[in-house]
Structure 1
């Protein structure tokens, strides 16, 4: 079995971590599919894509400076026309923004005016 860059080989997933999946081949060598090489879309949870013990085809990207195999599943998948991106958080409503500005302005005036801040007291008495 040749494990040269560009080779497509089948291996078994021996361990899945938050950062990738370790693949073992018939010749005993092990390589890593980094989480960024799992799919074309953003991978939030790697366990949604691969399972330990599963056989899978991977493409050998090369070896790092320590001689470890860098692998990819993404390279064997058809690339979608447009890569979906994570949703952006929308802006707050204009009413909320106005209320927040007013609150911040009032809070700043209270703290910079030098007037003592009234403390809340309880009307209940201890018996």
Structure 2
């Protein structure tokens, strides 16, 4: 029996490490279930979920050229897929907050840019004024 990616198999836990569990498969090979593939929630200690000798159902995630087999317990569980809702576009048009402030008069790009530049220059000059006086830079008064 060859191991194929995507197949579900029954296996027996043969060893547990801090990073996962080794599972013996029916064809005699051994695969690894990484700790992140043990349960749907966060697994701090794998010993809370598995013991040596446990029978588990695993799904084959990958088979490497060197014979390493990646397995998953959480993906082997049959869960109903959540229903996908069809995309529906909202019939309401998007409103810009800045339009509400100006009595519903739309702002032009140029006016927005001018406002941004003015605010930016004010912030920069304020920042320069505050930092130069604290470190005694150019133009700071001493006395």
Which structure has the larger Rg over C-alpha atoms? 2
Instruction: Give the TM-score category using the shorter length.
Output: 0.5 to 0.7
CA distance in 1, matches of 2:7, 2:26: 14
Q: TM-score, normalised by structure 2?
A: 0.52
More helix by share: 2
Alpha-carbon distance in structure 2 between the residues aligned to 1:64 and 1:37: 17
Residue 51 of structure 1: aligned partner: 51
> Over aligned residue pairs, what C-alpha RMSD do you find?
1.7
- Aligned positions, number: 80
Higher RCO (CA-CA < 8 Å; seq separation 6+): 1
Moved over 6 A (4+): none
TM-score, length of structure 1 as denominator length:
0.58
Structure 2: runs of 5 or more not aligned: 83-143
- How far apart are residue 65 of structure 1 and its match? 4.5
5+ long unaligned stretches in structure 1 = 82-127
